[in-house]
Structure 1
Amino acid sequence: MNSHKRMFLIDGMAQIYRAHFAMIKNPLLTKDGRHTSAIFGFMNFLFNLINKENPDYLAVVLDSKEETFRHKIYTEYKATREKMPEELVAQLAPLYEVISHTNIPMLKKSGFEADDIMGTLVKKAEKEDLVTFLVTADKDMMQLVSDKVFMYSPGNSFKPTTIYDREKVKDKWGVGPEGIIDMLALVGDASDNVPGIDGVGPKTALKLINEYKTIESILEHAENAGNKRVQNGLLNGRDLVFLSKELVTIDCEVPIEFHFEEFVRKEMDVK
C-alpha cells in the first residue's frame, strides 16, 4: 500500500452523542414528534469530513451494548455515566440504516469498546504503511499517536479542529504518547470513573513521571513526596493505580475480522 494513503476511523458513538447534544435546546423533530438531531448532525459531520479531508479509507467504529473486560475487572467502570436518553436510543437504528447506504463500513465487537477496535486497526495499518487519523476527542486515544497515527479532534463553532501529533500531545499533557497511560493511571478519569491516585492531578503526575519515569518507580519513592496527601495517596493506592493503568490501556489485539480493502471509499448508494 502507498504510504501516502490516509485512513480515517470515526469514533461513532462519541460523534452521535455530540450531534445529539449539540441541538439539545432546539432539537430537530419530525411532524409526528420523533427526534432526528443525532441523525442529521452525524450525517452532516460525516459529509463535511469527507468533503474536507477526502480520505482514501474510511470506517465508523461503534461500541457494543455488552459489558467489556473493563467492567469485569472493575464493576464501577463508567458507573457514573447517565443512561442514554430514550430519544437518542430511538435514532440509532435509523441512523445505522442511513450510514449503510453510504457504503462506509461500521465495525463493532461484543465485549470491546470502539477505542480497542480502533487501536487494533491502527497497529495493523501501521504495518501496511497507512497513515491513520483517529476521529475522536477521547484523550485515551493519544496513547496511540505515532509517526503514522494522528488524533483528529473535531472542532465546533467555538474552537477549530485539532490534529494531534506527538508534539501536540506533549504540549497538552507535558508527556508524549508513550507517557499518556501512566499519566491517566495516576490522575484518573472522572468521565469513565477511573479512580487514579487521591491527591494527584496533572501537574503532580507530570512532576512524578519526569522524576521517576515509571509507575513502579514512583511507588517505590512514594515516601519522598513532599505533599502529605500525595504521599498517602501513593502509599495506599498501589492496587488502584495498577487497576487504573489496566483500565486506560487500549487493547490493540481485539479478535475482529476485517480487510482494509473494505474501507476503501466507494460511491454512495443514493437510489
Structure 2
Amino acid sequence: MKETLLLIDGFNLLSRCYFATSYGREEVDLPRNSQGLYINALKVTLQKILQLSRQYATTHIVVAWDVKRNETKRRDIYSDYKGTRGELPDPLIQQYETLREFFDCVGVSQVSVDFYEADDVIGVFSARWSEEKEQDCFIYSNDRDLLQLLNQHVSQIIAMKRIGEIVYTADDFQHEYDISPKQWIDVKALLGDKSDNIPGVPGVGEKAALPLIQQYESIENLYKNLVHLDSTFKRYKKKLEEGEELAYLSKQLVEIETNLDILNKMSWEELRFVYDRQRWIDEIERLELNIMLPA
C-alpha cells in the first residue's frame, strides 16, 4: 500500500497565513468570531492543510511546533540565537493556541519536543520515514534551512513568487547548487543566517560560500586545507582564519537533528491521518469559520 507523510512546519504556515491576511490592517480591524477569537489566519491555515492532504494523498500528517525561543538547545549553545526577532502579535499567538485545540479535536497529529525546534521534529520524522518506509515524504515550509533534509524520498513544498508552490526535490537541489543537500549545512555555516542571528564567517558571502564547499566539500576539510587554499579564494583566507570558531559554532546551530529517542519511539500508526468530516464540521461551526469541507 502506498503511504505518504506530510510534515508541516506549523508556525511557518500559520504566521504566513496571518501576515498575508492582516497586511495593512490594525489588530482591532481583524475579523473575530462571536466568542471574540481572532480567525483571519485560522481559516486560511485549515484550508491549506485540507488542500495539501488531498493533493498529495497523505496517509500520515505531523504538524511540528517550536518551543519558546529562549528554551531551545541552540539558545544554550549561543545566547544570541534568534536574538534579533521581535515579539509576536497577540492575535497570532491566540490563533496558535486555538489551532492547537482544533487539531486535538479533529485528530491531526502535532508534535513539539522540549529544547528542540520544529525543524528538528521534521528532521527526525523525515529521516525515519525515508529509512523505514522508503516512500514519499513532503515537507511543507518556506524555510530553506530544511533543504539539508532532502533525499530520494523527501521533497519540500515551497511557495515561489509569481510561480506558486513547487515540489523541490533532492535532484532539483543538486542541479541548482552542485552539492548534496547535506552539504547545505556547511554552506550555511559559512554564510550564517540573519533571520536566526547565526553569525557565519564575517566577510564570506554567497559568492564564496557555495564555491568553497563545492571545492572542499565541508568546513572541516576546508580548514584542514586552509594553508594551501586555492588561489581563487586568496582574498578570503584571512577572513576564514579569523572566523574559524564562528564557522564551527554556526554549523552546530544550522544542523538539524535527525535522531531523537523520544520521537524514534513514536509509532507511525499514532501519526496516521484519518479525515473525520463530522468532527471537522463541528469544530469549524463552533469557531464560525465558514469553510467548505471536502466530502
Structure 1 and Structure 2 fold alike (TM over 0.5): yes
Given the alignment, which residue of 5, 8, 30 partners 1:10? 8
**Does structure 1 residue 259 correspond to structure 2 residue 267?**
yes
Partner Cα distance (2:216, 2:99) in 1: 48
For 1:109, which of 108, 113, 118 is the aligned residue?
Answer: 113
Q: 2:102 is aligned with what amino acid? A: V
Task: Give yes or no for contact 2:208–2:233 (8 Å, CA) kept in 1.
Answer: no
| Paired position in structure 2 for 1:40 | 43
Query: What is the CA–CA distance in structure 2 between the aligned matches of 1:84 and 1:31, rounded to whole Å?
Result: 21
Q: Per the alignment, do residues 262 and 11 of structure 1 end up closer, same or farther by CA in structure 2, a change over 3 Å counting?
A: same
1:213 is the counterpart of 2:221: no
User: Does 1:62 pair with 2:65?
Assistant: yes
Please show how residues 80-99 of structure 1 align to structure 2 within 5 Å.
80-99=84-103
Matched residue SS, 1:207:
helix
Residue by residue over 1:128-156, the C-alpha shift from the partner in whole angstroms, topping out at 9 and shown as x without a partner, is 22321111111111111111111122457
* Aligned-partner SS, 2:261: coil
CA RMSD of aligned residues (A): 2.1
Give a deviation string over 1:146-184, Cα, whole Å, max 9, x none: 11111122457x332121212211344342202101110
Q: Deviations over 1:214-250 (max 9, x none)?
A: 2123224445455676222201011100000010111
Inter-partner Cα distance in structure 2 for 1:61 and 1:48: 18
2:76 corresponds to 1:78: no
Cα distance change of structure 1 residues 229 and 97 upon mapping to structure 2, 3 Å threshold? same
Q: Which residue of 2 aligns with 1:127?
A: 131
Name the residue aligned to 1:167: 171
Which residue of 2 is the match for residue 200 of structure 1? 204
How far apart, CA to CA, are the structure 2 residues paired with 1:104 and 1:34?
A: 21
* Inter-partner Cα distance in structure 2 for 1:139 and 1:173: 13
**Percent same amino acid among aligned pairs?**
29
Greater CA deviation, 63-72 or 5-14?
63-72
Deviations 1:81-137 (A, max 9, x none): 111111211222212122223311111111110111111112221222232111111
| Equivalent residue number for residue 156 of structure 2 | 151
Shift of 1:12: 0.4
Whole-angstrom CA distance in 2 between matches of 1:127 and 1:228: 42
Q: Does 1:30 align with 2:32?
A: yes
* SS of residue in 2 equivalent to 1:231: helix
Q: Which region of structure 1 is more displaced relative to structure 2, 58-67 or 179-188?
A: 58-67
| TM-score, L = length of structure 2 | 0.83
Contact 2:5 2:61 in 1 (8 A): yes
Moved more, 225-234 or 44-53: 225-234
Which amino acid in 2 is paired with 1:143?
Q
Question: In the superposition, relative to structure 1, how do residues 263 and 21 fare at CA in structure 2: closer, same or farther (>3 Å)?
Answer: same
1-structure distance, mates of 2:246, 2:89: 31
- Relative distance call for 1:41 and 1:59 in structure 2 (3 A) is same
Worse overlay, 191-200 or 32-41: 32-41
Q: Does 1:136 align with 2:134?
A: no
Aligned to 2:167, what secondary structure does the other structure show?
A: strand
Paired with 2:46 and 2:275, the residues of 1 have a C-alpha distance of: 16
Unaligned runs of 5+ in 2: 283-295
Bigger mean CA offset, 190-199 vs 253-262: 253-262
Q: Which moved more, 1:61-70 or 1:32-41?
A: 32-41
**Mean CA deviation greater in 183-192 or 173-182:** 173-182
Q: Is the 8 A contact 1:174 1:206 kept in 2?
A: no
Structure 1: gaps (5+ residues): none
2:22 alignment partner, SS class = coil
Structure with the higher helix share, 1 or 2: 2
Q: Is the 8 A contact 1:167 1:176 kept in 2?
A: no
